Amino acid sequence: MNSAHSQWFEASIAQLNDLQNLRVWSIIVSLFGDLAQRPGDQISGTTLTRIITPMGIKPEAIRVALHRLRKDGWIESERSGRASVHYLTGFGRSQSAAVTPRIYARNPQVPESWHLLVAEEGNGQGSGRSSGQGNGPDRGQNALEEALLLPQYISINRSTALGHGTVPTGLDDLFVAVVSDLDAPRWLQARLFPDDLVQACQLLLAALRTIAPPADISAVQIATLRTLIVHHWRRIALRHPDLPDRFHPTDWSGETCRALVFDLLDRLPKPTLEALDQSPPTP
Amino acid sequence: MNSAHSQWFEASIAQLNDLQNLRVWSIIVSLFGDLAQRPGDQISGTTLTRIITPMGIKPEAIRVALHRLRKDGWIESERSGRASVHYLTGFGRSQSAAVTPRIYARNPQVPESWHLLVAEEGNGQGSGRSSGQGNGPDRGQNALEEALLLPQYISINRSTALGHGTVPTGLDDLFVAVVSDLDAPRWLQARLFPDDLVQACQLLLAALRTIAPPADISAVQIATLRTLIVHHWRRIALRHPDLPDRFHPTDWSGETCRALVFDLLDRLPKPTLEALDQSPPTP
């Protein structure tokens, strides 16, 4: 590997590292989700270290993070002689699988069929002030709060929820309106896509634009870059619902970011676990 | 006129009189609206008295009411010798014409195209607590309150209005949703059709069901009955918006009432003013 190449790789890492403080355990979750999510997939300790240390993370920090992930039931580790291998537990796999469709959606299906649930009156102070008598307005407020626990509902204000998909039946205490068209005002856009998320997205976009992988990049280097890209994208993708354009603030760059993420992942095709274990060491 | 006939007439009047306290000036407004609304229409004092006194209203009360209506600019009166004639002023005619379509709608066009306006947050205490700083939520609340001044809007709760017809543009501070289907909960039905209105409607319906006009009824008697029917119906028709069935409480008899009102008015065809002036005196 020539020196220009090595500089390119380090510069790309630096761009992606600058974005925010990296939590090592969270990086490892992104890594397994991207490279070793299937049952039977396992990654050697050596390979894991070779993928992660270029991010400026020390082997000791990786060991601490793996310990935490084992304690939380995400990861199991096995020793064979001096080597160790790590793999997702059933729980870890199911947690990972649950968010994979949202992280890896190139063209997310944005909901177009909406309905509104409106309660008689917001109770002003949240559910804590319930009179306990189960009167009409309280029952409506409770029904609304229950709906808002479901992923397909967005809170519009204290007494209103916007949902997509099938209109529920049996919500007798709520005014239910099927929506055929809507216009999201700025305050709603700002609630769904808060400023710090908009900004994180713009920073990731700027970083991604600097990355043009050369042809002769190694499998481990691909894994490092993929992990960082997926990790940052995951923190954006999972923080906002997939919504049509009219819900986006004018400065929302999420969809451009998404396009660039998948363009880069295409140009950095996922290495097999065998290729990673056999990848020659970086000079 | 035979005695059975006379009893029938008095019984019908009694049924309709029992419904609520009659305000004489309001009866006269109903009467002119029904019988003498066109420019040039005028009713003699004698005829007016003959139509109204069977309701148990004394000539003196009619004179007082006419005096009030003249003072309020509704009615003008002229004397010719010992006789007097009364007619609606331009103002009275326009007031009357403004509500005629709603009172006399046999098959009211119920709106089917709805939209919802949702403000960011109700301010909890009505407009009196506005901060005066014109921040976002206040602007939204103001836009909502302005919309609610228009007849095509219904208040759902502090932060939500349901409107029909064209969706307004330029309401940037409100969440605007075009509605293709809706389900009105009981609390909304009860707000639009309050208990006392539901009850007034049931009482009128019961009264109307007892009235079967014989063929040989006089023009003045027809006028008396029409005036009472229109008067009671007007007090119901103008107190609720014309809405599709799903907004009606299950015990709402308004549409049955409407059908019976127009059936009776058909069977009591409006006499001409000449026929009224020439109608033979009741024995």
Choose among A172, A173, A179: nearest Cβ to B179: A179
- Residue A182 in contact with partner chain B when CB distance is under 8 A: yes
List, for residues A219-232, the tens digit of each pLDDT value: 999 999 999 999 99
Q: Which of A157, A179, A187 is opposite residue B177, by nearest beta carbon?
A: A179
Q: Are A191 and A241 in contact (CB under 8 A)?
A: no
Burial B43-76 (b: 16+ CB within 10 A, else e): bbbebbbbbbebbebeeebbeebbeebeeeebbe
CA distances from A138 to A37, A160, A203, B120 (A): 44, 14, 44, 21
Question: Domain boundaries in chain B?
Answer: 3-107+191-278, 114-183
Percent of chain B with pLDDT strictly greater than 70: 92
Contact B172 A185 (CB under 8 A): yes
The whole-angstrom separation of Cα A1 and Cα B43 is 109
Q: Give B55-76 pLDDT, tens digit per residue.
A: 999 999 999 999 999 999 999 9
Are the Cβ atoms of A178 and B173 closer than 8 angstroms?
Answer: no
Nearest to B156 among A175, A179, A182 (CB): A175
Q: Which residue of A has its CA nearest to B174?
A: A185
Token pair recorded at residue B110 = 């119920």
What integer pLDDT is reported at residue A42 of this predicted model? 95
pLDDT per position as a tens digit, A102-150: 999 999 988 889 999 999 974 444 433 334 445 667 888 889 999 998 8
A3-107+191-278, what's its fold?
A: Arc Repressor Mutant, subunit A (1.10.10)
Residue B110 pLDDT: 86
Bridge partners for B182 per DSSP: A177
The per-residue pLDDT of chain B, averaged, comes to 89
**The tokens of A65 are what?**
């993070």
Q: Which of A40-44, A73-77, A105-109, A127-131 has the lowest mean pLDDT?
A: A127-131
Q: Which two tokens stand for residue A81?
A: 């002689």
Closest CB to A160 among B140, B160, B186: B160
| Residue in B with minimal Cα distance to A136 | B187
Q: Which residues in A lie closer than 8 A to residue B175 (C-beta atoms)?
A: 156, 160, 182-185, 188
User: For residues B6 and A81, what is the distance between their CA atoms, to the nearest angstrom?
Assistant: 116
| Chain B residues within an 8 Å CB radius of A177 | 114, 116, 162, 177, 179, 181-183
pTM: 0.74
Q: In what order do the strands lie in the sheet with A160-164?
A: A153-157, A160-164, A114-118, A175-183, B175-183, B114-118, B160-164, B153-157
Per-residue pLDDT tens for A246-273? 899 999 999 999 999 999 999 999 999 9
Cβ proximity of B34 and B270 under 8 Å: yes
Retrieve residue A149's tokens: 């626990």
> Residue A7, Cβ neighbours under 10 Å: how many?
10
In B, minimum Cα distance to A120 occurs at B157
Per-residue pLDDT at B249 = 95
B121-130, B168-177, B231-240: least confident range: B121-130
pLDDT tens string A1-17: 567 778 888 888 888 87
State whether B177 and A137 contact (CB < 8 Å).
no
Q: Quote the DSSP letter at residue A239.
A: T
Asked if the ipTM is above 0.90, the reply is no
Q: Residue A42's CB: how many other CB atoms inside 10 A?
A: 17
CB of B124 within 8 Å of any CB in chain A?
yes
CB contacts, 8 Å: B186 with chain A: 136, 172
A170 CA to chain B: closest CA distance, Å?
11
In a mutational test of the A interface, the residue from B141, B144, B164, B183 whose CB has the highest number of chain A CBs within 10 Å is B183
Query: Tens of pLDDT along B21-44?
Result: 678 999 999 999 999 999 999 999
Q: At what angle do helices B24-35 and B59-71 cross, to 10 degrees?
A: 80
Residues of B in contact with A170 (CB under 8 A): none
Which chain B residue's Cα is nearest to A139?
B187
Given an 8 Å threshold on Cβ–Cβ distance, is A178 in contact with B181? Answer: yes
pLDDT tens column, A176-205:
999 999 989 999 999 999 999 999 999 999
Does A136 contact chain B (CB < 8 Å)? yes
pLDDT digits (tens, 9 = 90+) for B62-112: 999 999 999 999 999 999 888 899 999 999 999 999 999 999 999 998 888
In whole angstroms, what is the distance from residue B280 CA to residue A130 CA? Answer: 69
Residue A252's Cα: distance from chain center in Å?
17
pLDDT, position B131: 42
- Residue B229: the pLDDT is 96
Return the structure tokens found at A103: 């992280």
Q: Report pLDDT for B156.
A: 93
pLDDT tier at B2, thresholds 50, 70, 90: low
- The C-alpha atoms of residue B31 and residue B43 are separated, in whole angstroms, by 10
C-alpha distance from A121 to closest chain B C-alpha (Å): 6
Is A176 in the B-facing interface, judged by CB distances under 8 Å? yes
A 55-114 residues with CB < 8 A to B: 114
At residue A151, the 3 state secondary structure works out as coil
The verdict on a CB contact (< 8 Å) between A177 and B179 is yes
For B1-56, the DSSP string reads: --HHHHHHHHHHHHHHHTTSPPPHHHHHHHHHHHHS-STT--EEHHHHHHHHGGGT
- How high is the pLDDT of residue A124? 45
**Chain A closest-CA separation from residue B146 CA (Å):** 18
Average pLDDT, chain A: 89
Task: Please report the pLDDT score of residue A111 as a whole number.
Answer: 84
Under an 8 A CB cutoff, do B177 and A114 touch? yes
Q: What is the pLDDT of residue B168?
A: 86
B123 touching chain A per CB within 8 A: no
